[in-house]
Homo-oligomer: A and B are copies of this chain.
Amino acid sequence: MITLDCIPCLLAHSLKAMRRAGVPKGSEKELFENALGEAKIMLDGSPAPIAAAAIYRLISEKTGNNDPFRDFKKKSTAMALEILPRLREMVTASDDPFARAIEFSIAGNAIDLVKMEESDLGGIIDLLEKSESGEFVSEDISALESEIFGADSVFVIGDNAGETVFDRLFLELINGPKVYYGVRGGPVLNDATAKEAEESGIGEIAEIISSESAIPGTVLEKVGEKFRKIFDEADVVIAKGQGNFETLDESPRPIYHLFKAKCEPIAERVGCNVGDFIVWKNSPNNI
């Protein structure tokens, strides 16, 4: 999906990302002028993650750093790994551990490069500890649960570094189906590449599949052949985060989108409030 509202929002985010990446003050204006040019592709219906990828490349060039958010990603992963044992305890103690683990995976989507400080990760745990199972995500996730357990293959398309650790929680509980975990093909913002997925321990429980494109979303025309084949053929596809939602919400194949609704147009599209943690299934019937 794409709305005109995505343009000022992406530009505002780009400014924050550019500053967080350490672009020199004197280069900010020139970079932003170029970003304005890149953002214009959205006027022709190109989803925000494609423009975001182009702007990210400008940031990389200006900082002379191919992976300027590597430190942020490493820290997010390390902090999430630190709380992993506590999360596991909470999952195990739950009436429905699998459903609770899915809820935690959605909560992990609150990790956000520009909207969050690194120190906010503790807030997510507080949120989870205070919420009862079933209360955190209002939607019924039993359909997803039974689909996973009846499947031969499950493809989870990851989103941000750190969030990957939260995904690991429910991947560990899948027993039977072959599990694939999709990652970005190269550094882009704080999205997880194979490196960050490995650092999260995902490699031990799933086969990591690169999209082969450094786009913070899943643009099917640009993903590698293997990624595409698994996407088409997996019994269950789960897409994490808004970037994947924005690029896949109109796909005719059924996909379970798990994410935090971070803006008004998306909340409206899925029928929730901004800030809600969401399970939304797209299928030929509701696109």
Contact = CB atoms under 8 A, between A and B. Distances in A.
A8 interface: yes
Interface string A4-38: 11011101100100000000000011001100100
A32 B7 contact: yes
A43 interface: yes
A12 B9 contact: yes
Interface residues of A, number: 16
Contact of A4 (B5, B8, B28, B39): B28
Contacts of A15: 4-5, 8
Give the most central of A15, A36, A43: most B CB within 10 Å. Answer: A36
A86 interface: no
A36 B235 CA distance: 44
A43 B35 CA distance: 12
Contact of A8 (B12, B28, B33, B40): B12
Given A5-B15, A8-B9, A8-B15, A33 B43 contact: yes
Contacts of A43: 29, 32-33
Give the most central of A9, A12, A33, A39: most B CB within 10 Å. Answer: A12
A43 B4 CA distance: 21
A15 B42 CA distance: 15
Nearest to A12: B8
Contacts of A5: 12, 15
Nearest to A10: B8
What 8 A-B pairs have minimum CB-CB distances, sorted nearest first?
A: A8-B11, A8-B12, A8-B8, A4-B32, A33-B43, A4-B15, A5-B15, A4-B28
Given A36-B36, A36-B40, 4 more contacts: A7-B32, A8-B12, A11-B11, A32-B43
Interface of A: 4-5, 7-9, 11-12, 15, 28-29, 32-33, 36, 39-40, 43
16 contacts: A4-B15, A4-B28, A4-B32, A5-B15, A7-B32, A8-B8, A8-B9, A8-B11, A8-B15, A9-B12, A11-B11, A12-B12, A32-B43, A33-B40, A36-B36, A36-B39
